Amino acid sequence: MKRQKEQNVRELIDKLISELSVMNNEREVQNQVVSAFQCTHRTLQQNFMRHVIMPLFEEMHKWDKEGNYDLRNEASCKLATKMLGCLNEDDKMLPFI
């Protein structure tokens, strides 16, 4: 069961990354992402932030501190560090409501 869940998440992330890998029409894709996100239930929006965005920020912040990046993801790692630097520990806790 756990292995299947991991496989499902991997496939989902691969599909998401593939769909978002565009060189042109970046603004159009961003608008589509925001529009789709806005149509989801607010609890699901919070879950997405808790389970996807915050862990990515935390991991990329770690990569920034360790110098574990290259030119392809340096800006994202630096951004994650800046974003997390604006939050105190209470802000990082996203409750399930």
Q: What angle, 0 to 180 degrees and rounded to 10, lies between the N-to-C axes of helices 74-85 and 54-66?
A: 110
- DSSP letter at 67 equals T
Tell me the domain boundaries of the chain.
Answer: 1-39, 41-97
pLDDT for position 79: 97
pLDDT at residue 40 tops 90: yes
Residue type, 74: E
- DSSP letter at 58 equals H
pTM: 0.80
Range from 6-15, 30-39, 48-57, 86-95 carrying the lowest mean pLDDT: 86-95
**What is the residue whose two structure tokens read 């939050």?**
87
d(CA 44, CA 94): 12
Q: pLDDT category, 87, cuts 50, 70, 90?
A: confident
d(CA 97, CA 80): 25
